Amino acid sequence: MGIDKFLINEEQPVINIVMSGVGGQGVLVASDILTMAALNAGLDTKKSEVHGMAQRGGSVVSQIRIGEKIYSPLIAKGTADILIAFEKLEAVRYLEMLKPGGVVVVNDQQITPLTVYFANIPYPEDVEAICRRRAGEFIAIEGIQIAEDLGNTRVLNSIMLGALSSFLNIKKDDWTKAIEQRVPPKTIPLNIKAFEAGAKISEKVT
């Protein structure tokens, strides 16, 4: 269909993923699960997180690199293969990290920062159009709607991971194991359902 999965091979020894969002959305747990899934798949991985002082409500970004052998945990500007944003403004904020023609997966949600009211800087109007200046593929996920349908908005991060999974050559079992390793035991079945719901949306384009 649209684009191929990112394979780790001689041509592309490393996949760079930038994951961004707003504190409280579960970005860091999601980046933990992603790296665990990569390890479960027998790959090398490194991640580097910037979460500042605000555990909740501030801008959060995690850089994840996956490959046969990873030396540095940092991604240079303009070299991320995939930008996965849990919030629309946070896609725009880190768009400079994306390589030309890269993939943007964004949760179609607007969380307006207080600076829009206090500093009068407008929230960008057409996030898709901005992202498409750089991205080769843009997928919006109705993450909150899906999470509400599943009965818990806190599984947004598993939905987003599911959406990401269609682009990576990591087997379902390795993802499931990673989810089991990281989320509270009681929520495992719901998180796996959420993951599957996310995967269903993005698999249409790969």
Partner 1 sequence: MKLGLTFPLPKELIREFAAKVDKLFVIEELDPFMEEQILAMGIAVEGKNKLPVIGELDLNIVREALLGDSPDDMKFSVKEPIPARPPSLCPGCSHRGVFYALKKLKLTVTGDIGCYTLGALPPLEAMDTCLCMGASVGFSEGMEKTEGEELQGKVVGVIGDSTFFHSGITGLIDIFYNQSNAKLIILDNQITAMTGHQEHPGSGLNLRREPTNRVDIEKLVRAIGIERIVKINPYDLKETIDTIKEEMQVDGPSVMIADAPCVIRERKVFTKPYYVIADKCTKCGMCDKVGCSAIEKDEDGKTKINPLLCIGCDICRQVCRFDAIIRPADN
Q: Which residue, 130 or 188, is less far from partner 1 as judged by CB?
A: 130
Residue of 18, 104, 156, 194 interacting with partner 1 (CB under 8 A): 156
Would you count residue 119 as binding partner 1 (CB under 8 A)?
yes
Residue of 66, 92, 106, 146 interacting with partner 1 (CB under 8 A): 92
Would you count residue 158 as binding partner 1 (CB under 8 A)?
no
Would you count residue 154 as binding partner 1 (CB under 8 A)?
yes
Q: How many other β-carbons are positioned within 10 Å of the β-carbon of residue 12?
A: 12
**Interacting span for partner 1 (CB under 8 A) from 30-38, 108-116, 171-179, 197-205:** 108-116
Residue of 5, 9, 68, 76 interacting with partner 1 (CB under 8 A): 76
Kindly state the smallest distance separating residue 153's Cβ from partner 1, in Å.
5
Residue of 113, 136, 180, 190 interacting with partner 1 (CB under 8 A): 113
Would you count residue 118 as binding partner 1 (CB under 8 A)?
yes
CA distances 127 to 13, 39, 91, 110, 155, Å, are 31, 33, 8, 10, 23
**Parallel, antiparallel, or unpaired: how do β-strands 137-141 and 98-107 relate?**
parallel
In sequence order, which ranges of the chain are alpha helices (DSSP H)?
A: 27-40, 88-93, 114-118, 127-132, 143-150, 156-165, 172-182, 188-202
Kindly state the smallest distance separating residue 24's Cβ from partner 1, in Å.
5
As a whole number of angstroms, the distance between CA 121 and CA 123 comes to 7
DSSP assignment letter at 168: B
As a whole number of angstroms, the distance between CA 188 and CA 181 comes to 9
Q: How far is CA 9 from the centre of its chain?
A: 22
Site of interaction with partner 1 (CB under 8 A): 22-25, 52-59, 72, 74-79, 89-90, 92-93, 95-96, 98-100, 111-119, 121-124, 130, 133-134, 144, 153-154, 156
